[in-house]
């Protein structure tokens, strides 16, 4: 029998409150060179919930960089997710506006076992090429 309360979700991994600043980039041609800022609210091994000052869209691919050193499951997380230039790659799964003008955003981490890894590698190749051209 299920012991879930009416509004309680079933999750594969436990969420941990982890309120830290984060940097992010929206991985598309127009915004990849723009480093944006936000705050992580909570995190699990499968994703992160954060508050961002810039609007993102569902299914946007994000590059997220934040302090992972204090997380107990950090090593497991780093073995599971797709990391690129010390940031975690994730897909936007939820976007909600807030009263403060920021956006509450749920991001699902892209794992190393994704079925769509070919698409992710194509997008990260594009990112790498743009990062290199900016620093030359």
Is residue 10 in some structural domain?
no
Flag whether pLDDT at 127 surpasses 50.
Answer: yes
Count the domains in the chain. Answer: 1
Is residue 122 in some structural domain?
yes
pTM of the predicted structure, to 2 decimals: 0.72
Is residue 74 in some structural domain?
yes
CB 66 within 8 Å of CB 21 = yes
% of the chain with per-residue pLDDT over 90: 28
Task: Find the distance separating the first CA and the last CA of the chain, reported in whole Å.
Answer: 60
What CATH number does residue 63 fall under?
A: 2.40.10.220
| Residue from 60, 46, 38 nearest 104 by CA | 38
CB 109 within 8 Å of CB 81 = yes
| Residue from 87, 83, 107, 104 nearest 95 by CA | 104
Q: Domain containing 33: what range?
A: 16-135
35-92, pLDDT tens digit by residue?
899 999 998 888 999 999 999 999 999 999 888 775 555 567 777 788 888 888 999 9
């Amino acid at each position: 029998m299920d012991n879930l309360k009416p509004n309680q979700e079933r999750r594969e991994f436990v969420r941990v409150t982890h309120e830290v600043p984060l940097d992010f980039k929206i991985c598309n041609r127009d915004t990849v060179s723009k480093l944006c800022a936000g705050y992580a609210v909570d995190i699990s091994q499968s994703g992160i919930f954060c508050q961002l000052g810039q609007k993102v869209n569902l299914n946007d691919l994000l590059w997220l960089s934040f302090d992972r050193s204090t997380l107990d499951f950090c090593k497991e997380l780093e073995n599971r997710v797709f990391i690129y230039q010390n940031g975690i790659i994730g897909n936007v799964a939820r976007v909600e506006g807030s009263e403060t003008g920021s956006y509450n955003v749920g991001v699902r981490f892209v794992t190393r076992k994704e079925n769509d890894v070919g698409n992710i590698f194509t997008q990260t190749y594009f990112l790498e090429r743009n990062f290199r051209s900016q620093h030359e």
